[in-house]
Amino acid sequence: MFLSVPADSIDVAPPWDRPPDAWLERLDGIPAALVGDVLNRMTVMDGGVRLLTDRATLIGFALPVDTREGDNLAVHRALDEARPGDVLVVNGRGDTTRALIGDLIGEIMVGAGVRGAVIDGAVRDVTALGELGLTVYARATTPAGPYKTGPGTVGATVAAGGIVVGPGDIIIGDADGVVVVPVSKVQHVSDEWQAALGRENQLRSRIRQRPGGSS
């Protein structure tokens, strides 16, 4: 860690394998809403977790973090475990009084190859985070900084945005919001999304062909 504070209050899960990078390539560019439809809309985070940066696309492997309200020691510790292609997913218990990440953590994220963050809590320095090339979702912004005392966990399954997120699950985000693809469902989404898109396009065509439609 870049902090000179004890981190013995943070529990770190044993190392886990990320899925192959090819899995990200298979799902990259699919709209979050369409992925959510393929998964019966059961893994879509609630609308309170919203896009805060100008950069509006995100895909990567979940690096889950659990922390108490307003404390980001576990986030700092998590970045020691981060690998390129990861996305921080932080259960901050919905607290919006103190920011859990800002531009300094953003610099560490970029150095570690982390693509963005989904924070069930608050963030700050959102303009700078976007300029760093990160995509960040959170419940709120606040200039108030966090505590750094713990406790917390890294690499264990968390709840964020009302959805269970496990280590290595694929996070997909765009302007609509965030959807989680569990590792066990990657093949299903890869196999089914084009069929779901075809059904949408058929319905769209029927709508446009009706009297008063757009064509």
pLDDT in tens, 76-103: 999 999 999 999 999 999 999 999 999 9
What is the per-residue pLDDT for 215?
A: 45
Give yes or no for residue 44 having a pLDDT over 90.
yes
Structural domain containing residue 155: 10-209
Say if residues 19 and 186 touch (Cβ distance below 8 Å): yes
**What's the CA gap between 175 and 129, in Å, rounded?**
16
Please report whether residue 214 resides in a domain: no
Please report whether residue 82 resides in a domain: yes
pLDDT of 132-169, one tens digit each? 999 999 999 999 999 999 999 999 999 999 999 999 99
Backbone torsion region of residue 139, taken as left when φ is above 0, otherwise alpha when ψ lies between -120 and 50, otherwise beta: alpha
What the block records as the tokens of 18 is: 């990320």
What's the total number of domains in the chain? 1
Please report whether residue 79 resides in a domain: yes
Please report whether residue 114 resides in a domain: yes
Claim: this prediction has a pTM higher than 0.85:
yes
Please report whether residue 161 resides in a domain: yes
Please report whether residue 198 resides in a domain: yes
What is the per-residue pLDDT for 151?
A: 97
Check which CATH number belongs to the domain holding 65 and give it. 3.50.30.40
> Is cis: bond before 14, omega within 30 of 0?
no
DSSP 160-171: ETTEEE-TTPEE
Please report whether residue 5 resides in a domain: no
Give yes or no for residue 67 having a pLDDT over 80.
yes
**What's the CA gap between 114 and 107, in Å, rounded?**
10
